[in-house]
Amino acid sequence: MLTWVEKYRPKKLRDVAGNPSSIESLAKWAEEWKSGIPKNRTILLYGPAGTGKTSAAYALASELNYDCIELNASDTRTQDIINRIVGSAAMQDTLDPSYERKLIILDEVDGIHGKFDYGGLAALKKWVKESLQPIILIANNPWSLPREFRALTLMVGFKKIDQRSILKVLMHICTKEGIETDEKVLKMIATNANGDLRSAINDLQALTEGKKKLALRDVDALTMRDSELKIFDTLIRIFKTTSADRAREAVWESGEDADTILKWLVENAPREYEDASDLARAFERLSRADVFMGRIMRRQDWDLLPYAINAMSAGVALAKQHKYSKFVRYQYPQIFTLYAQTRKAREVMDSIAEKISRKNHCSKKDAKAEYFPMLKIVLNNSAEMGSQLASELELDLEEIQFFIKEERLAKNIYSQANEISAERIRASTTKVKQFSLGEF
């Protein structure tokens, strides 16, 4: 299924919503290339996610009929590769007569660093300065790039998209998709998106999945599911990137704790990764993260947290060989539902284990592992021994029923156990009485 963000990606510069002066600067810079080489051979589009930077670059290329040479974050961008791909493109005109000229686009340049992209930025700097063809660089955070690198570019900032512009895009999509709704509803989605048009469109698609009408109460869920949406955002950021840094940031910046994020990733990795080897790699890393999380919980060893986060974020992000651009409706982890369904049973088990451990001076874990199977056999096979044990351990009816499925038998043992307990109490008080009488 084509995602709506793909389907409605602006094809022309004038279709890019918001940021009019930035779009104008971009168009003007492109115009300058028509009559020679401008002062800045490279333009750097920067700003928050989902504001149309990538879309604007490609819209410009298609509008001017430019041949795009692209290198994005999913490609390795070492010195060698930059020189080979960007360098050769920068030095010659397009060879394809159906295009006007070449345009070099590098997305997520703030992600070029570290061991994988060794020397990439230094190599790029040369082409930024000397290219004979226009270069568009795109970044979320340009301030992480060296100052002398930035100084070589024409920096054009994209701001968060204003609500009115978001609203217009949402209305347009609803008309095209035949969705019946009203302005108030779309305004709520727009407000909630906080300037990120991509997430507004994704929310609209998620909320209208399988229906043609969108009412105010459906969108209510948007605010109620706020934490869920935040986690969707974290998942998208991990699953859809191939940058280790971006994936790690997604977890650190999320309002959710690492263990919850891990469970969401486990639930949704098979929905995202279609390729079996991608999925196998993702699960191998998730299981490593799980081992770390287990140690952290048991020993409170929080120094291990970065390792767990690294495995679940960068590990999962880099498990794929290429990005999946499909839309995925991420699901609530079943393990949480299972926890909720089995909570009662687990509480009963815990209270039985507690009683056994108190009497026998063993751990609750041992009680469950060693005494439970024995109790089950005795209670189901010998009413006499069973009621002795039940009395000794002071099990209540619910606890006896945990082992005995047949209700009549369980009740029978419970009442016999009660009699044995009553008898024991009577006997001990008589003893006290006899003893005290002898005293006098």
Ligand X SMILES: Nc1ncnc2c1ncn2[C@@H]1O[C@H](COP(=O)(O)OP(=O)(O)OP(=O)(O)O)[C@@H](O)[C@H]1O
CB 109 within 8 A of CB 54: no
Give the residue at shortest CB distance from ligand X. 52
319 binds ligand X (CB under 6 A): no
Decide which of Mg ion, ligand X, none touches 286; Cβ closer than 5 to 8 Å per partner kind. Answer: none
Contact stretch for Mg ion (CB under 5 A) within 54-62, 78-86, 184-192, 259-267? 54-62
Find residue 42's DSSP bridge partners: 135, 153
Q: How many residues bind ligand X (CB under 6 A)?
A: 20
Among 42, 133, 140, 310, binds ligand X (CB under 6 A): 140
For 9, phi then psi, to 5°, come to: -65, 130
Which residues from 143-162 bind ligand X, rule CB under 6 A?
A: 161
Decide which of Mg ion, ligand X, none touches 16; Cβ closer than 5 to 8 Å per partner kind. Answer: ligand X
9 binds ligand X (CB under 6 A): yes
Pick between residue 46 and residue 127 the one whose CB is nearest to ligand X: 46
Contact stretch for ligand X (CB under 6 A) within 15-23, 61-69, 297-305, 368-376? 15-23
CB 55 within 8 A of CB 10: yes
50 binds ligand X (CB under 6 A): yes
Strand 67-71 relative to strand 42-46, pairing:
unpaired
Decide which of Mg ion, ligand X, none touches 10; Cβ closer than 5 to 8 Å per partner kind. Answer: ligand X
- Token match 């990439």: residue? 120
Strand 153-157 relative to strand 42-46, pairing:
parallel
- Token match 């955070």: residue? 141
Minimum distance, C-beta of residue 376 to ligand X, in the bound complex (Å): 56
Give the residue at shortest CB distance from Mg ion. 54
Q: Who contacts 199 (Cβ-Cβ below 8 Å, separation ≥6)?
A: 50, 193, 233
CB 53 within 8 A of CB 46: yes
Decide which of Mg ion, ligand X, none touches 205; Cβ closer than 5 to 8 Å per partner kind. Answer: none
Contact stretch for ligand X (CB under 6 A) within 48-56, 129-137, 207-215, 393-401? 48-56
Q: Who contacts 415 (Cβ-Cβ below 8 Å, separation ≥6)?
A: none
Pick between residue 325 and residue 363 the one whose CB is nearest to ligand X: 325
Pick between residue 68 and residue 279 the one whose CB is nearest to ligand X: 68
Length of the chain: 440
Minimum distance, C-beta of residue 52 to Mg ion, in the bound complex (Å): 8
Pick between residue 62 and residue 430 the one whose CB is nearest to Mg ion: 62
Among 54, 153, 202, 310, binds Mg ion (CB under 5 A): 54
Q: Tell me, what amino acid is at 433?
A: K
Pick between residue 54 and residue 313 the one whose CB is nearest to Mg ion: 54
Q: How many residues bind Mg ion (CB under 5 A)?
A: 1
Residue 69 is inside which H or E element, if any?
A: strand 67-71
**Which one, of 299, 268, 272, 269, lies nearest residue 282 by Cα?**
269
Pick between residue 54 and residue 268 the one whose CB is nearest to Mg ion: 54
Q: In angstroms, rounded to a whole number, what is the distance separating the alpha carbons of residues 291 and 293?
A: 5
In what side-by-side order are the strands of the sheet with 42-46? 67-71, 102-106, 135-139, 42-46, 153-157
Which residues from 122-151 bind Mg ion, rule CB under 5 A?
A: none
Which residues from 175-234 bind ligand X, rule CB under 6 A?
A: 197-198, 201
Decide which of ligand X, Mg ion, none touches 133; Cβ closer than 5 to 8 Å per partner kind. Answer: none
Q: What is the DSSP string of 182-197?
A: -HHHHHHHHHHHTT-H
CB 232 within 8 A of CB 198: no
Q: Strands, DSSP E only, in 88-213?
A: 102-106, 135-139, 153-157
Query: Which residues lie near Mg ion (CB under 5 A)?
Result: 54
Query: Which residues lie near ligand X (CB under 6 A)?
Result: 5, 8-10, 16-18, 49-55, 140, 161, 169, 197-198, 201
